[in-house]
Structure 1
Amino acid sequence: MTDTGAVSGAGVSVIGGRARNEDAYLAESPVFVVADGMGGHIAGAEAAWAAVTAFRALAGEPATPADVERAHLEARRLVDGVQEEVGGESGTTLTGAIAVTHRGHPWWMVINVGDSRTYALEGGVLRQISVDHSHVQELVTAGRITPAQALVHPDRNILTRAVGDHQTRMDAWLVPHVPGRRLVIASDGLMKEVEDAEIGEIVGLIGDAEAAAAALVELAVGRGARDNVTVVVADSDLVTPVDADPSPWTLWGDDARADTGADTTASERRRGDA
């Protein structure tokens, strides 16, 4: 667990029902990220650790949105290196939040590639910030299936974007620091076993970030988690002024950009069985 007095957090990761843990995470202020290696590809664990390694340079240092962009591109470079080393496809999801300074004000910069998720809990309500890059999410967005149907859909393991697909885009939002707002970052092994409402209830009741992350992981494992389960919980004492301008980055919420996921279908990747 790390605590700078302003931004703090902790993470927990377990193997679950897999042969090995292909998740990786970093919870060192100001960086809180989770990567989930693709079990259906060679060296998924190595890809996840490579992506996380790219963000270690930001740990313990002041960060800007440009720093986060560079770390994302470095993550892609390192994962490409893993693919070259093993001589086959490898990839990983990547999501999380980095505390940054933009135009003189503090923000959370939330990033996402793939279907691991970053949530925000505020006032007892859990809301998903990230948008899944997955085939079933596209079907849900198009109104062809419901979120409940997506959980059991035969194509639920198909990703439409990943680190390792030779693209350069990530989704990113500048999210204001608000008193009492807590972030939850997790690999999909958690969401397969625990509903969003339950996630919100647990992280709302347990004040300590590490204890909250551990409680979520334990609940998933207790329900027979078939996948690796990784959870990072992050808190902040910072406050973003209400009149702060996030431009050119998009403010999460009603003003969130409409094009997330618009170019995803060219990079279809499939996870291992889950």
Structure 2
Amino acid sequence: MTLKLRSVGTSDRGLIRSGNQDAMHSGTWLVAVADGMGGMAAGDLASSLTIGAIAPLDVETPEDALVAALQSGIEQATLRIRRAVGEDPERQGMGTTLTALLFARTGSCLALAHIGDSRAYLFREGVLKQITRDDTFVQMLVDQGVITPDQASSHPRRAVVTQALQGDDVSPTYATMVPAAGDRWLLCSDGLSNVVRPDTLAEVLAGHPDRAECAHKLIDLALRAGGPDNITVVVADVVEE
């Protein structure tokens, strides 16, 4: 029996924004979420350029090459954003978050790349754990003990990111993990995580075995909470085949 990744992704503009600056990839080996920023056209462009740059990684990759593949994809995304800004100075300041998970062809390992405030959660044996750490001003305050995680969730500057893909040199976080059959991954933009509590996320991930139903339920909850931002969700299950 080999472990495989099976995923479903969906995205919604939300109830306030005029367009959707999020982009995502939901594939056999790769899942990813990018949340663009820096003005409507530019944010939309930054996230789509980034997903376009890493989508070719959705192929069988040896486990010892996972992190290098993600690094190479992010370098390509950075280059594309830099070129786009060079072509039109009004795009200066555009950028995007990226949270991506790449599954090894053997099923024995996965790698995660992260920058910004989109998130990856792992739901394993009934417990939800946030795997990524937000690159945000308020997370920095939490780390320093200035505010509590509860205060961070309603802080007026919670949307201020400290790192994003903007065409210059950055330091994304990379990690490798050993998957287990039954693992369920949730990748999402902050349009979900800012308005739906972690305990509710866990309930939905536990209560909706069907990936598509689960993803749509999460979007629905974010909309019911006011849908103030674009909402993007990828639900990916580790299954035995």
Q: TM-score, normalised by structure 1?
A: 0.80
SS, match of residue 171 in structure 2: coil
Give 1:158 deviation, angstroms: 1.1
- The partner residue of 1:167 within 159, 166, 169 is 169
Q: CA deviation at 1:235?
A: 1.1
Q: How does 1:113-132 map to 2 (within 5 A)?
A: 113-132=115-134
Contact 1:41–1:89 at 8 Å: present in 2 too? no
Matched, 1:100 2:104: yes
Offset at residue 156 of structure 1 (A): 1.2
**1:217 match:** 219
Task: Report if the CA contact (8 A) 1:22-1:39 is conserved.
Answer: no
- The equivalent position to 2:94 in structure 1, one of 83, 90, 94, is 90
1:209 Cα deviation after fit: 1.4
Does 1:181 pair with 2:161? no
Post-superposition shift, 1:146? 0.9
Q: 1:71 aligns with which of 70, 73, 82?
A: 73
1:36-83 Cα distance to aligned partner (Å, 9 max, x none): 001457600100001100111112443532212111111111121222
| Secondary structure class of the residue paired with 1:118 | strand
CA distance in 1, matches of 2:76, 2:170: 10
Matched, 1:20 2:19: yes
Matched to 1:137, the amino acid is Q
1:229 equivalent to 2:224? Answer no
Amino acid at match of 1:55: I
- CA distances 1:100-148 after superposition (whole Å, capped 9, x unpaired): 25xx772121110001000000111110000100000000011100111
Alpha-carbon distance, 1:150 to partner: 1.0
**Contact 2:53/2:77, CA 8 A, preserved across alignment:** yes
Maintained 8 Å contact 1:119/1:127: yes
Is the CA contact (8 Å cut-off) linking 1:9 and 1:28 kept in structure 2? yes
Separation of aligned partners in 2, 1:209 and 1:96: 18
TM-score (norm 2): 0.91
Name the SS for the 2:166 alignment partner.
coil
Find out whether 1:208 has 2:206 as its counterpart.
no
In the TM superposition, residue 168 of structure 1 has moved relative to its aligned partner by 3.5
1:113 and 1:163 in contact (8 A); partners too: yes
**Structure 1 residue 214, shift from structure 2 partner:** 1.0
User: Residue 258 of structure 1 aligns with which residue?
Assistant: none
* In 2, Cα distance between equivalents of 1:174 and 1:127: 15
Q: Give the whole-Å Cα distance in 1 for the aligned partners of 2:196 and 2:74.
A: 29
Q: Find runs of 4+ consecutive structure 1 residues off by over 6 angstroms.
A: none
Q: Cα deviation per residue 1:139-189 (whole Å; 9 max; x = unaligned)?
A: 001110011111221221211100016124210110111121111000000
Structure 1: gaps spanning 5 or more residues? 240-274
The SS at the match of 1:83 is helix
Q: Superposition pairs for residues 194-205 of structure 1, below 5 Å? A: 194-205=196-207
CA RMSD for the aligned pairs? 2.0
One-letter amino acid of the counterpart of residue 95, structure 1? T
Q: Distance in 1 between matches of 2:80 and 2:27?
A: 20
Kindly tell me the number of residue pairs found equivalent between the two proteins: 234
Q: 144-153 or 18-27, which moves further after superposition?
A: 144-153
Return the letter of the residue paired with 1:51. T
Distance 1:19 1:78, change over 3 A: same
8 Å contact kept, 2:119–2:190: yes
C-alpha distance 5-127 of structure 1, shift in aligned 2 (>3 A): closer
Give distance in 2, aligned partners of 1:10 and 1:182: 11
CA contact 1:106–1:238 (8 Å) conserved in 2: no
